[in-house]
Amino acid sequence: MSTESTTIRWEQDRTGLVTLVIDDPNQSANTMNQAFRDSLAAVTDRLEAEKDSIRGVIITSAKKTFFAGGDLRDLIRVTPETAQELFDGGMAIKRNLRRIETLGKPVVAALNGAALGGGYEIALACHHRVALDAPGSKIGCPEVTLGLLPGGGGVVRTVRMLGIADALLKVLLQGTQYSPRRAQENGLVDDVAETREELLAKARAFIDANPESQQPWDKPGYRIPGGTPANPKFAANLPAFPATLRKQTGGAPYPAPRNILAAAVEGSQVDFETAQVIEARYFVDLAAGQTSKNMIQAFFFDLQAVNSGANRPKGVEPRQVRKVAVLGAGMMGAGIAYSCARAGIDVVLKDVSLESALEGKGYSEKLCAKAVSKGRTTQQKADALLARITPTAEAQDLAGCDAVIEAVFEDTSLKHKVFQEIQNVVAPDALLCSNTSTLPITALAEGVERQSDFIGLHFFSPVDKMPLVEIIKGERTGEEALARAFDLVRQINKTPIVVNDSRGFFTSRVIGHFINEGVAMVGEGIEPASVEQAAAQAGYPAKVLSLMDELTLTLPRKIRGETKRAVEEAGGTWTAHPAEAVIDRMVDEFGRTGRSGGAGFYDYGDDGKRTGLWQGLREHYTKPGYQIPFEDMKERMLFSEALDTVRLLEEGVLTSVADANIGSIFGIGFPGWTGGVLQYINGYDGGAGAGVGLPGFVARARELAERYGDRFTPPALLVDKAEKGERFSDSARG
Ligand code: NAD
């Protein structure tokens, strides 16, 4: 064994077959850290030195996964000053992988588990790839989802292996993570094995049959499959790619897809070595920029902190739910029942009549049929899932349920009534949850005997697709209930954030600011189509006026009425938002209440589909020729949400920065490029010239307050942090 290699073990048999086993002794997964780089250099030297006695090479790993990719702790710290270092380190890895690839001996990747990003790039440098069909094993290049590109030869080689179009669409631009079987179908791996023994046997068989392997691109006369821009026929299709990109990003500031496209196209027109340099430059450009830092922070570190239970009370034994009662089989209840049954929990789905309950179960039947027809599950598994859901109208059928999730109409006295009906039927210590989206949890808890077991569990629609659940702790909710609610959300494979009780909690309250801001702009006289455009370009997945229509214009009026009453009862004064007058006029004067009413900010056809923005908006609101800077329009939406999130931290409704970031992206569509609502402030790029980070954000908020109203005045907590040179982070977790 080479003394310099600490993370790659060299095993050689008598026939001259070398197996390189990647096994970082200091981490649970292999990453491209310094130790790996040094080890790769050492084994490459040895392979070249001992080449004559080597017949072939298998690369595999001793971990559960094959290789996890780049070390994100290193990458998030890259600055423009250290960018050259990153470039040099990256080029060193590429050079060594290239030396192995051109050794003149067959090299096979035996992927014993997930091979994502850098891991898949190692496999790409091999002449043959076999993957073990292990459960949950994933293969692909997800770098784009962290604002990066595969900088270890992934762009250069996928383009040469699959052609530009397939490399971009199947691997690079979406960052799709394939199961081993799907990876094979899409040409990412050559073969799949059922067992570890078969994996290694298949790798050896390739080596036996191909003693002098060479990559296709190193053979004379090689051409990139499907052509390159040098070919006029291919060039004619090229303009379609930027359009695809725009569709993917909505024109929002995601630099990674743009760099990936450039690296692929430019790299396809030059030799392999030059293409490697081009790829490295585009990679370093992304790694040194702010967007990749935002996305790594949110989609890796924050998500990990949230899911691993940084907020779960310590010392409470984990507990699994076996049988859950879902009260109300409407849109939300039906979706919750499906998600619980999918996770293996028995569900009793109760509604006012058996017919309604059966209809609720019908939703699961529809989803299962679809999953079977698409090959995502088997008929047997679908049948087992459906058998776990028992529809009923009888309270006594809930006997033995160890958790209750209520999803009946949004009405406090009705919710009190349904809990009273069942609280003595279910298990005596059952966890009691309400899926209310707006009603304060503390008041709802007053309807049950065991208030400490009562908690809010706010799901998002459609439940089967939306990954987030907002857990709301009422004043009398106990720590045990909080821990159990957390465990239940994890049990159904969703991401839990935890907030304290308050009207609208975190998500409903903050999204209200986004919508109000868009509506207010219409009221000021700005062209409605520009308002929609601004939301899209800021990176919001839904345009603001269309979202208002979906939620219905009567909902904010109802919430406003209740909130105003509560504020006034507490001796405060209500400050009207300029959106209120616009909404009141839409409803009272024009009778337009949103999509469900057939007319809102948009017109709708008989099929309920949008046909276009309502022309009356221009007649009644738009001031011809009136506009404000487009940057202001985008930032008014983003700032309104960010500023209110800081207020929620001040009020103690939110207690964790990671929860705020994750909740905003996964629950209410805050743009992913920002890294979430508080990371947006940390990473504020001073687009409008106000300066960067917290001080820049504060300066810009003051500017917006002067132009558009006091609601943009930065809260004291924000100003204080900016002055102290701090940023938003969960200090306990670093
Ligand atoms: P829905 O109208 O689709 O369903 C409500 C169901 O409750 C109906 O099937 C109704 O028959 C049933 N029901 C009424 N009284 C009942 C009783 N006494 N016992 C049993 N069932 C009874 O409503 P929804 O959209 O599913 O919303 C349900 C709850 O979830 C509400 O509190 C709502 O605020 C909340 N919520 C909704 C959304 C959303 O996007 N729709 C999102 C998060 C939370």
User: Pocket of ligand 1, candidates 409, 436, 444, 466: which has the most ligand atoms within 8 Å of its Cβ, to mutate?
Assistant: 409
Which domain does 404 fall in, by range?
323-503
Peptide bond into 462 cis (omega under 30): yes
- Catalytic sites, residue numbers: 121, 143
Question: How far is CA 497 from each of CA 540, 656, 674, rounded to the nearest angstrom?
Answer: 21, 9, 19
Residue 561 covered by a domain: yes
- Kindly give the distance from the C-alpha atom of residue 724 to the centroid of ligand 1, in angstroms, as a whole number: 46
Structure tokens at 215: 């990559």
Classify residue 577: in a domain, yes or no. Answer: yes
Neighbours of 408 (CB within 10 A): 22
The span from the first CA to the last CA of the chain, in angstroms, equals 38
Residues 6+ away with beta carbon under 8 Å from 585: 620
CATH code assigned at 481? 3.40.50.720
- What is the CA(328)–ligand 1 centre distance, in A? 6
The answer on 554 and 474 residing in a single domain is no
Q: Which of 246, 438, 422, 440 is nearest to 328 (CA)?
A: 422
* Nearest Cα residue to atom 8 of ligand 1: 330
457 lines ligand 1 (CB under 6 A): no
Do 700 and 604 lie in a common domain? yes
Distance in Å, CA 590 to ligand 1 centroid: 29
Does residue 392 have its Cβ closer than 6 Å to ligand 1? no
- Total number of domains in the chain: 3
Task: Based on the fold, state whether residues 496 and 512 are members of the same structural domain.
Answer: no
Are residues 453 and 336 part of one domain? Answer: yes
Same domain, 140 and 30: yes
Residue 2, pLDDT score? 43
Q: What is the CATH number of the domain that holds 56?
A: 3.90.226.10
Q: Determine whether the shortest distance from the Cβ of 305 to ligand 1 is under 6 A.
A: no
Q: What pLDDT digit, counting tens, does each position of 419-449 carry?
A: 999 999 999 999 999 999 989 999 999 999 9
Residue 566 token pair: 């509560």
Q: Is 215 in the pocket of ligand 1 (CB under 6 A)?
A: no
- Residues 336-379 pLDDT 10s: 999 999 999 999 999 999 999 999 999 999 999 999 999 888 99
- How far apart, in whole angstroms, are the C-alpha atoms of residue 411 and residue 419? 12
Claim to verify: residue 193 and residue 341 sit in the same structural domain: no
Q: Which helix (H) or strand (E) holds 514?
A: helix 507-524
ipTM over 0.90: yes
- Give per-residue pLDDT as tens, 87-104: 999 999 999 999 999 999
DSSP state string for 619-672: HHT--TT----HHHHHHHHHHHHHHHHHHHHHTTSB--HHHHHHHHHHHH---G
Q: Which of 348, 351, 359 to mutate to test the pocket of ligand 1 (most atoms within 8 A of CB)?
A: 351
pLDDT band at 689 (very low <50, low <70, confident <90, very high): confident
Q: How far is the CA of 435 from the centre of ligand 1 (A)?
A: 9
Q: What is the model's pTM? A: 0.92
The residue contributing the CA closest to ligand 1 atom 1 is 330
Looking at the fold, whether 271 and 327 belong to one and the same domain comes out as no
Q: Is 218 inside any structural domain?
A: no
Within 10 angstroms of residue 248's Cβ, the number of other Cβ atoms is 13
420 in ligand 1 pocket by Cβ < 6 Å? no
Q: Please, are residues 597 and 552 in contact by the beta-carbon 8 Å criterion? A: yes
Q: Is the pLDDT of residue 287 over 90?
A: yes
Residues 712 and 620 in one domain: yes
pLDDT in tens, 598-655: 999 999 999 999 999 999 999 999 999 899 999 999 999 999 999 999 999 999 999 9
Taking the centre of ligand 1 as the mean of its atom positions, its distance from the CA of residue 428, in whole angstroms, is 25
Say if residue 481 is in the same domain as residue 537. Answer: no
Q: By C-alpha distance, which of 643, 647, 644, 680 is closest to 540? A: 680
- Asked, for residue 659, whether it belongs to a domain, the answer is yes
In ligand 1, the atom with minimum distance to the C-alpha of 417 is: 18
Of 481, 503, 525, which residue sits at a domain end? 503
% of the chain at pLDDT higher than 90: 88
81/228 same-domain check: yes
Domain contains 311 = no
Within-domain flag for 300: no
Q: With contact defined as beta carbons under 8 Å apart, do 264 and 155 qualify?
A: yes
User: Has residue 205 been placed in a domain?
Assistant: yes
Residues 464 and 548 in one domain: no
Atom in ligand 1 nearest the alpha carbon of residue 333:
26
Q: How far apart are CA 441 and CA 476, in angstroms?
A: 9
Half-sphere exposure at residue 550, Cβ-oriented, CA atoms within 13 angstroms? 9
234 within domain boundaries: yes
Say yes or no to pLDDT of 732 above 50: no
Same domain assignment for residues 427 and 543: no
